[in-house]
Amino acid sequence: MPAITFTARNIQDITKGSSQCAILPMYQQKKLSDEAQLLDDAAGGTIKAAMALGDFSGKAGESCFLPGAGGAKRLLLVGCGVRSAFDRGAAREFVRTLAKALNATQAKDAVLHAQKFEVKDASQGWLFNTIAREITRASYRYTETVSKPKQAMKLARLVVNTGDNAKAKAGQQALDSGAAMGRGINEARRLADLPGNICTPTYLAQQARKLAREHAKVSTTVLEEKKMKELGMGSLLSVTAGTDQPAKLIVMNYKGGKTGDKPYVLVGKGITFDSGGISLKPGAKMDEMKYDMGGAASVFGTLNAVVEMGLPINVVGIVAAAENMPSGGATKPGDVVTSMSGKTIEVLNTDAEGRLVLCDALTFAARFKPKVVIDIATLTGACVVALGSHATGLYANQDKLARQLLDAGDESHDRAWRMPLWDDYQKQLDTNFADVANIGGPGGGSVTAACFLARFTEDYHWAHLDIAGSAWDSAPKGATGRPVGLLTQYLMERAH
């Protein structure tokens, strides 16, 4: 997918200068703004005519294409609703409407006249970041296994008119960060949407090596099963025992900060296909288990965004990649395995495999002496029951880290909700035959999964994001790229 270029400029006379589309945000009011009046005069009154006919009123969600004016070949009016109510929610609705209209036009370049365009509860930087991010997201097309993919968005360049030179400089920074975030989200979607016969652990390792080849500040190391065995990763290896696909522990090290700075470590669950193993899943919707590497995809997407922005921090991305399949050699319910930490685990359900790969990856993460560790996983159906698809489940062993992640989710509208991580739930993981069981019974399944992981993260500040409900949609089917927005926003805030 070709990248859209976003440029902030100060254009004094909006009736001059050539473009294929001039975009005018319009509030729901009787009198035209000064900018709208100038374009209406240049267009011979077509804006007022469209409003008089009832074709456009400025309501939120409305858009209307008109013949060109001045140097623009076409005009695009986009409704903003009532000016006094134009808050972040209304701004997001505006951007969605704009993206939909741009997807429908043949215009290859456009100018958005935003010089007096303000959100009452957010900065212009937030608005420009949101515009670039969401229009980039809207340009995503899945192309890799279809002979006739959906038509790509024609737009290649969007100029945002700030009406002020100083605002143009700050606006450009916001546009650049928003576009980088959008491209990171789309990379996560691309990886997650790939079928399991293409996106294998080996494929993910290849993508990690490619990232390192393309960027001098990134180095990639891939641990093979032999090395994992030497390190004592019996828990992770128990998941891959039933498949012909070799597991990979992928480590991507981005050194954008000072040499001595502690890194932020992101750990992604990378189950490239999850049959459930011996505890076989029902056949219905099993195809969606290609999305069980959504956590890994978000690590790749976030690192892509961080690298593109050149954030002055150190970030380590760890992906525990494996396939969970049934066979004569597969782990059985009741088997006991030994994790890298030395703790023994009774595998009561082989379909609770994500925590088995993550616990060894989280133990491995400690060797980087991390500032914080955040794991991301499509971990439990119980989280979907609890929160649906709107919120990611957030667990943390430190209140400050939890608050920072929640705030980053609110800022990027990639929201999370904090769930309890109380010791009261730990007893559900007790077993007579090992140090811990890998499931805790029917009640509080997302909580007990997080409690299981907490036993392997006691030596550092840690958060767990359960994205089982937020990583993909079933109708229409497709990856969302979450929580790349949340993670990227969090790391951007740590870099300043």
The length of the chain in residues reads 496
pLDDT at position 131 is: 98
Supply the DSSP string of 401-447, one letter for each residue.
HHHHHHHHHHHHT--EEE----GGGGGGG--SSSSEES---STTHHH
Instruction: Identify whether 163 is part of a domain.
Output: yes
* Tally of CB atoms within 10 A around 144: 12
Instruction: Identify whether 184 is part of a domain.
Output: no
Instruction: Identify whether 119 is part of a domain.
Output: yes
Of residues 217, 262, 281, 455, which has the active-site annotation? 281
Q: Is the pLDDT of residue 17 over 90?
A: no
Mean pLDDT of 432-450: 97
Whether 355 is a known active-site residue: answer yes
Per the CB < 8 A criterion, the answer to whether 36 and 58 are in contact is: no
Q: How confident is the model at residue 30 (pLDDT cuts 50, 70, 90)?
A: confident
Shared domain for 366 and 425, answered yes or no, is yes
Question: pLDDT, tens digit, for every residue of 166-224?
Answer: 899 999 999 999 999 999 999 999 999 999 999 999 999 999 999 999 999 999 999 99
Q: Is the pLDDT of residue 2 over 80?
A: no
Phi first, then psi, for residue 335 (nearest 5°) are -65, 150
pLDDT at position 1 is: 65
Shared domain for 15 and 159, answered yes or no, is yes
Mean pLDDT of the residues in the chain: 97
Question: pLDDT, tens digit, for every residue of 44-94?
Answer: 999 999 999 999 999 999 999 999 988 999 999 999 999 999 999 999 999
Q: Which two tokens stand for residue 332?
A: 């059985």
Question: pLDDT, tens digit, for every residue of 378-396?
Answer: 999 999 999 999 999 999 9
Instruction: Identify whether 175 is part of a domain.
Output: no
| Residue among 166, 168, 84, 77 nearest 119 (CA) | 84
Shared domain for 133 and 208, answered yes or no, is no
Shared domain for 152 and 274, answered yes or no, is no
Q: How confident is the model at residue 116 (pLDDT cuts 50, 70, 90)?
A: confident
Instruction: Identify whether 336 is part of a domain.
Output: yes
Question: pLDDT, tens digit, for every residue of 336-382?
Answer: 999 999 999 999 999 999 999 999 999 999 999 999 999 999 999 99
As beta bridge partners, residue 377 has: 466
Boundary-marking domain end, from 119, 135, 167: 167
| Residue among 316, 300, 188 nearest 251 (CA) | 316
Shared domain for 204 and 61, answered yes or no, is no
Supply the DSSP string of 328-365, one letter for each residue.
TTS--TTEEEE-TTS-EEEES-TT--HHHHHHHHHHHH
Phi first, then psi, for residue 26 (nearest 5°) are -135, 130
Instruction: Identify whether 11 is part of a domain.
Output: yes
Q: Is the pLDDT of residue 164 over 90?
A: no
- Report how many domains make up the chain: 2
Whether 9 is a known active-site residue: answer no
Shared domain for 387 and 263, answered yes or no, is yes
The C-alpha atoms of residue 330 and residue 325 are separated, in whole angstroms, by 7
Query: Which CATH number goes with the domain that contains 39?
Result: 3.40.220.10
Shared domain for 254 and 122, answered yes or no, is no
The C-alpha atoms of residue 24 and residue 35 are separated, in whole angstroms, by 8
* End-to-end CA separation in angstroms for the chain: 31
Per DSSP, 458 falls in state: T
- pTM of the predicted model, to two decimals? 0.97
Of residues 74, 183, 269, 355, which has the active-site annotation? 355
pLDDT at position 20 is: 97
* Degrees to nearest 5, angle at CA 281 with 444 and 205: 95
Q: How confident is the model at residue 16 (pLDDT cuts 50, 70, 90)?
A: confident
Strand residue runs (E) in 54-98: 63-67, 74-79
Shared domain for 314 and 438, answered yes or no, is yes
**What DSSP element (H or E) covers 248?**
strand 248-255
Shared domain for 246 and 365, answered yes or no, is yes
Instruction: Identify whether 203 is part of a domain.
Output: yes
Instruction: Identify whether 182 is part of a domain.
Output: no
Query: Which CATH number goes with the domain that contains 279?
Result: 3.40.630.10
Per the CB < 8 A criterion, the answer to whether 473 and 389 are in contact is: yes
Domain boundaries, position 9: 5-167
Shared domain for 136 and 259, answered yes or no, is no
* Longest alpha-carbon distance in the chain: 83
| Residue among 96, 166, 132, 188 nearest 5 (CA) | 132
